[in-house]
Amino acid sequence: MLRPLFPRASRALRIASIPTQSRLALPWQGAARSYSVQAQAASSAKPLGLDASKLSIEKTKSPGSLGKPEELVFGRKFTDHMLTIEWNEREGWLAPRIIPYQNLSLDPATCVFHYAFECFEGLKAYKDQSGNIRLFRPDRNMARLNKSAARIALPTFEPTALIELIARLVRLDERFIPEARGYSLYLRPTMIGTQKTLGVGPPGSALLYVIASPVGPYYPTGFKAISLEATDYAVRAWPGGVGDKKLGANYAPCIVPQLQAASRGHQQNLWLFGEEEYVTEVGTMNMFAAVRDRATGQKELVTAPLDGTILEGVTRDSVLSLAREKLVPEGWKVSERKYTMQKLDEASQEGRLIEAFGTGTAAVVSPVRSIAWKGKTVTCGLAETEESGEIATRMKGWIEGRQYGDEEHEWSCVVA
Amino acid sequence: MLRPLFPRASRALRIASIPTQSRLALPWQGAARSYSVQAQAASSAKPLGLDASKLSIEKTKSPGSLGKPEELVFGRKFTDHMLTIEWNEREGWLAPRIIPYQNLSLDPATCVFHYAFECFEGLKAYKDQSGNIRLFRPDRNMARLNKSAARIALPTFEPTALIELIARLVRLDERFIPEARGYSLYLRPTMIGTQKTLGVGPPGSALLYVIASPVGPYYPTGFKAISLEATDYAVRAWPGGVGDKKLGANYAPCIVPQLQAASRGHQQNLWLFGEEEYVTEVGTMNMFAAVRDRATGQKELVTAPLDGTILEGVTRDSVLSLAREKLVPEGWKVSERKYTMQKLDEASQEGRLIEAFGTGTAAVVSPVRSIAWKGKTVTCGLAETEESGEIATRMKGWIEGRQYGDEEHEWSCVVA
């Protein structure tokens, strides 16, 4: 059963031809105004009128091609078009535009370059076996983008309008969605502050844009379990900080610990928190562990709670929901609670650590073989010949089943 | 006595004329390469060859003017030119260019927009009474920029080379430095990651640029003491985080607490840390308090220590140095130590809080009248008619004396 989630987009589209000479003067050049914004004015900014029906589309004159899907590398190739929507404090959201993929032209004083006024999302469009295009839980990404934007004084928007606009972009560039299982079109909604003054204050103008990148399976030849290094010298997030928001600010500081881990042969680092060494996240993924209770033998799938230091991952939520739906009836306990590296190590030593995996949009699930911690190697339940545990394998299957529409489910939205 | 700090710049300059058609194809467009960078390769990147002698200068064909200095607003107006230096992993630092102030043209997938690969500095050039141009402690800014860059896997550089290049820019645009006391040219060195792929990893290319903005006195009609609101619901920085680096990432998250404080009539927020409510920073300034000991009557100038949660302010360091030089002989104690809001409140109630002030490049010193904390108002030693305490006033005078060259001092470098 196909559900037309975006009826307006399918009938209300107006094609506006943009004159050639306007290409050099990009739309947001004019919007980056040259005066400082007063705090009071910006703080009263409301999500004014992101109106999908005002969309104009300028098609590229030099269409590209998908090329060989098997040569795709994550986030390197982009489709022909991009969606751009300008906002300014005075007018609110201006008319959305789909235009040829092109550079942004920004004043070097623009606040995104200096004060990291930037947040983003990552979601995917899939082609199902009937040729329909599907988005996976886009409402979740929209809600999170609004939370991220609000936390750094960028404007919020009407979620359904942006989903509708994204659907238009995806439909226009649909030939960039490879058809094979495991392939998809990665979508990157991004919002940046565009005010071009150096005073530190709320941006008086912003640009919301969406680019799209065809991507292949994260594990083209099947799972490959990764080895982690627990990071004890750097801290990703803090209560009262912004670690639960998808801000650019949370990413650049992650690279050096990642490089440090890589220099010692580990694929990712594992973020611990506090003297207790609570397990929080894996690189840029959420972390799950499946453990057996020492006393009762009760099997438990555990992940850190949303206490402000954990990114509210959409895949994390999907894994939790699926675990409650399918594993609890099998006798599993599913917990969002704090757990320490010490406890994980004890479980490992006592043979009670069944498996561990990271979750995220890029890989769906990423099985963990071992964690280097305090000079020792904490093994995570996999036999030497295994690349994934049973839970990770089943989760990937269940989630992809819904992503690709094998199982009709409310998480998957067909693009009309 | 004028000390020519930059002899090479004064004689080695080569003027390279850049063809007109190259203006649309900005130099960094080619450098933002479209492949992901391996961790190993980037981690071995060394500060290769930032060579000031390779500078080329393209002068603007439409020179602007300073206009009325008294109408200047911080960071809103910029000079005719900018300094740009590209870096890429393979070649290192390319030849520096001074070009007309112009927009940056960047692919929408560029990592600075997504993962906040960005850091910056703020320093000023002053005109002294003899017409010389002076920089204030630029070595400090260069050292800090290198620390900031390294923390987010951006390239480091040779500090003296960048000082020399900045001197060239300042000399070229010197007519934008107003001559009156209190005026200066604010310089904003900025480094951004320019790799145009969405994979989260060390940028394979970067752009270092410097723009310059003529600025007026922070307090044109004399000091104006500010009122602060202690922020207890958000945390700026934490041990193991990046709060001691001048990263864009530290700024966007500050705006909402600032707006919250403003909505209740306060000019800035005061960042506390931990259950102990240690006083850390004021908005985007360092914080100083002058207190008298309850038992001994000993006067003490105190500021939070550089424990990783405090920005290593150049003005902070200048205030500490001057206090040790000039206040210690008067019987003051000068301390870098943790102190709590509770202790500040006690001192205030007992009449032992002499004064408090923020320090930063923009305002030099910013006297604090009061702090709203836990529903009460902690007054900070000023009489109702006073806008500054004695220490803040003297500090401003001492620092400006060296900035404007009234007192010859090693902190002030004459641009040859």
| pLDDT computed for residue A222 by the predictor | 85
Q: Which of A308, A267, A140, A112 is nearest to B114 (CA)?
A: A112
pLDDT (tens digit per residue) in A162-194 = 999 999 999 999 999 998 889 999 999 999 999
Looking up tokens 């599907």 gives A134
Looking up tokens 């299957």 gives A397
Q: Do B259 and A153 touch (CB under 8 A)?
A: yes
Exposure string of A63-72, with b = 16+ CB inside 10 Å and e = fewer, is eeebeebeeb
A219: pLDDT confidence band, cut at 50, 70 and 90?
confident
% of chain A exceeding 70 in pLDDT: 89
Q: Do B109 and A255 touch (CB under 8 A)?
A: no
**Parallel, antiparallel, or unpaired for β A226-231 and A268-273?**
parallel
A325: pLDDT confidence band, cut at 50, 70 and 90?
very high
Helix (H, G, I), strand (E, B) or coil at B259: helix
Render A303-364 in DSSP notation, one character per residue.
E---SSSS---HHHHHHHHHIIIIIGGGT-EEEE---BHHHHHHHHHTT-EEEEEEEETTTE
Q: Do A113 and B118 touch (CB under 8 A)?
A: yes
Q: Are A122 and A187 in contact (CB under 8 A)?
A: yes
Q: Do B113 and A108 touch (CB under 8 A)?
A: no
Q: Cα–Cα distance between A243 and A266 in angstroms, integer?
A: 23
The CA radius of gyration of chain B, in Å to the nearest whole number, is 22
Q: Cα–Cα distance between A262 and B316 in angstroms, integer?
A: 37
Q: Cα–Cα distance between B313 and B285 in angstroms, integer?
A: 8
The yes-or-no verdict on residue A47 having pLDDT over 70 is no
- Report CA-CA distances (Å) from B101 to A47, A110, A126, B263, B299: 34, 13, 44, 36, 49
A154: pLDDT confidence band, cut at 50, 70 and 90?
very high
- Nearest CA of chain A to the CA of B390: how many Å? 28
Which amino acid does the sequence have at B4? P
**Parallel, antiparallel, or unpaired for β B412-414 and B353-360?**
unpaired
Query: A-chain residues within 8 Å CB-CB of B209?
Result: 108
Q: Cα–Cα distance between A226 and A218 in angstroms, integer?
A: 13
The sign of the dihedral angle between the CA atoms of A38, A43, A44, A47 is positive
Chain A to chain B, count of Cβ pairs less than 8 Å apart? 235
Among A40-44, A142-146, B363-367, B384-388, whose mean pLDDT is lowest? A40-44
| pLDDT computed for residue B29 by the predictor | 33
A232: pLDDT confidence band, cut at 50, 70 and 90?
confident
Q: Do B199 and A104 touch (CB under 8 A)?
A: no
Q: Do B248 and A113 touch (CB under 8 A)?
A: yes
Of residues B376 and A27, more confidently modeled: B376
| pLDDT computed for residue A214 by the predictor | 97
Segment (H or E) for A259: helix A255-263
Domain range A226-387, CATH class: alpha beta
Helix (H, G, I), strand (E, B) or coil at B311: coil
The yes-or-no verdict on residue A38 having pLDDT over 90 is no
**Parallel, antiparallel, or unpaired for β B268-273 and B226-231?**
parallel
Query: B-chain residues within 8 Å CB-CB of A76?
Result: 34-36, 197-199
Query: How many CA atoms are closer than 13 Å to the CA of A185, on its beta-carbon side?
Result: 30
- Report CA-CA distances (Å) from A194 to A86, A105, A145: 9, 10, 17
Query: A-chain residues within 8 Å CB-CB of B249?
Result: 116, 247-250, 252-253
Q: Where in chain A is the domain with CATH 3.30.470.10?
A: 13-220+404-415
Domain range B13-220+404-415, CATH class: alpha beta
Q: Nearest-5° angle of CA B262, CA B263, CA B268?
A: 15
Average pLDDT score over chain A? 89
| pLDDT computed for residue B221 by the predictor | 81
- The residue of chain A with its CA nearest to that of B212 is A109
Q: Are A251 and B200 in contact (CB under 8 A)?
A: yes
| pLDDT computed for residue A1 by the predictor | 31
Burial class from Cβ neighbours inside 10 Å (0-12, 13-18, 19+) for residue A383 reads: exposed
- The residue of chain B with its CA nearest to that of A249 is B249
Give me the mean pLDDT over the A318-346 stretch.
Answer: 98
The sign of the dihedral angle between the CA atoms of B241, B243, B244, B248 is positive
Q: Where in chain A is the domain with CATH 3.20.10.10?
A: 226-387
Low-confidence ranges of chain B (pLDDT < 50): 1-43, 45, 47
Q: Which of B104, B199, B250 sits opposite A108 (nearest CB)?
A: B104
Q: Do A199 and B256 touch (CB under 8 A)?
A: no
Q: Do B252 and A116 touch (CB under 8 A)?
A: yes
Query: B-chain residues within 8 Å CB-CB of A199?
Result: 73-76
- Nearest CA of chain B to the CA of A101: how many Å? 8
Q: Which of B43, B82, B255 sits opposite A259 (nearest CB)?
A: B43
DSSP designation for B240? T
ipTM, two decimals, is: 0.89
Among A119-128, A218-227, A239-248, B3-12, whose mean pLDDT is lowest? B3-12
Q: Are A412 and A135 in contact (CB under 8 A)?
A: yes
Q: Do B118 and A114 touch (CB under 8 A)?
A: yes
Region for residue A214 given its phi and psi (left: phi exceeds 0; alpha: psi -120 to 50; beta: otherwise): beta
Q: Do A103 and B101 touch (CB under 8 A)?
A: no
- The residue of chain B with its CA nearest to that of A195 is B76
| pLDDT computed for residue A46 by the predictor | 54
| pLDDT computed for residue A416 by the predictor | 83
- The residue of chain B with its CA nearest to that of A259 is B39
Q: Nearest-5° angle of CA A181, CA A185, CA A190?
A: 150
Burial class from Cβ neighbours inside 10 Å (0-12, 13-18, 19+) for residue A118 reads: buried
**Interface test with chain B among A44, A200, A273, by most B beta carbons within 10 Å:** A200
**Interface test with chain B among A76, A79, A113, by most B beta carbons within 10 Å:** A113
Among A16-20, A267-271, A334-338, B304-308, whose mean pLDDT is lowest? A16-20
A270's tokens: 């594992």
| pLDDT computed for residue A41 by the predictor | 42
| pLDDT computed for residue A48 by the predictor | 75
The yes-or-no verdict on residue A25 having pLDDT over 60 is no
Query: B-chain residues within 8 Å CB-CB of A241?
Result: 234-235, 238, 241, 253
Q: Do A76 and B197 touch (CB under 8 A)?
A: yes
Query: Phi/psi at A301 (nearest 5 deg)?
Result: -100, 120
Which amino acid does the sequence have at B189? P
Q: Cα–Cα distance between A247 and A312 in angstroms, integer?
A: 12
